[in-house]
Amino acid sequence: MVYVLSFVAAAGFALASVAQYRASQSLSKDLNLRISLIGKLLKNADFLKGSLFDIIGVIAQFFALAIGPISIVQPILAMGLAFALGIEHKLAGRRFRLLDIIASVITTLSLAYFVVLRGTKVIDHVQFSTTLTVSISVLVLDLSVVLLGKVRKNTVPQLIVVVAAALSLGCGSVLEREVGISLHKGVLYTALFAPTWVLILLAPISLLLVQSAFQLGSLKAVLPTLTVGEPTAALLLGASMLGEGVMPSKGVVQGIAALIVMAVSLLYLAVSESRFRESVSRGEGTKG
């Protein structure tokens, strides 16, 4: 079931990113890193459509993380880029290039191999003090980026915003896993569970950072960094906040190799997609 839920989440996030990217691009750059950006987006039909898919993705991701390890769920979620590519190519009337198809196949096979090696059986232990220290640090970092945007009048370098967004989303995934684990102790326990409230605080800031990243010019930093950065952050933070091993107990070298191949393939797809979107925005055509 963890695989099904993870793929549903990946598809939901992919559909959401396509719609939300278009919505963010249609608004003034003066709104970047400002709360008013979210207010404007809430009046945008594309954003609302994307939010519906986002909700589906978040629910599926939550239950996937409640029953499966981060080291399985997050790599599958990274496959959302392949879904997004297919959706955008279809909408824009562009054919898949042969290299895009090959990269998608390699990504899928690498993921499948890693999943087989890793397995889904894992016992996580919430490292409470580490969780609060790390998650609050991420929260402070995110707020600092937002405040920096206000001080510098929306001239924060794109890469800083994207890295903060990836780190925030990765931390959010680990917190979702912890909240899912806490449900076994009852709803009241979960409602009073500190990571639940940190997650609630982190969610709107993550949304603002992601939408601001979508707004900022070139996508050469956005897609590769978010696609590979979020699962990487989740895996590393999961190791410290949950004591969850990233690699399989056997076949460590093969596991590392599979993740590297998958990351490289995803980076290629991300760069390919960013170039395509930029060519469309410059009016160079939609056929490939």
Instruction: Estimate to the nearest angstrom the gap between the alpha carbon of 13 and the chain centroid.
Output: 8
- Nearest residue to 259 (alpha-carbon basis) of 74, 120, 125, 97: 74
Burial class, 106, CB count within 10 angstroms (exposed 0-12 / middle 13-18 / buried 19+):
middle
pLDDT in tens, 6-19: 888 988 887 888 78
When pLDDT is cut at 50, 70 and 90, the band that residue 276 belongs to is: low
CB atoms near residue 196 (< 10 Å): 16
Q: Which residues of 130-157 are buried (b: 16+ CB within 10 A; e: fewer)?
A: ebeebbeebbebbeebbebbeeeebebe
**Quick check: 201 pLDDT over 90?**
yes
Say which amino acid occupies 5: L
pLDDT digits (tens, 9 = 90+) for 220-266: 557 667 777 787 788 788 878 887 655 555 666 777 787 788 777 77
Query: What is the four-CA torsion angle of 196, 169, 6, 77, rounded to 10 degrees?
Result: -170
Tokens of 124: 């996580």
Instruction: For residue 249, give both structure tokens.
Output: 């107990």
d(CA 149, CA 37): 13
* Cα distances (Å, whole numbers) of residue 16 to 11, 58, 84, 127: 9, 11, 9, 32
Distance of CA 272 to the CA centre of its chain: 18
Average pLDDT over residues 198-219: 85
Q: What is the pLDDT of residue 60?
A: 93
For residues 211-226, average pLDDT: 70
Token pair of 183 as six digits: 């449900």
pLDDT band at residue 288 under the 50/70/90 scheme = very low
Query: CB count, 10 Å around CB of 116?
Result: 13
Look at phi and psi of residue 186 and say left if phi exceeds 0, alpha if psi is from -120 to 50, else beta: left
91-117: average pLDDT: 71
Mean pLDDT of the chain: 79
Radius of gyration, alpha carbons of the chain: 18
Residues ≥6 apart with Cβ < 8 Å to 132: 194, 195, 198
Stated pTM of the model: 0.76
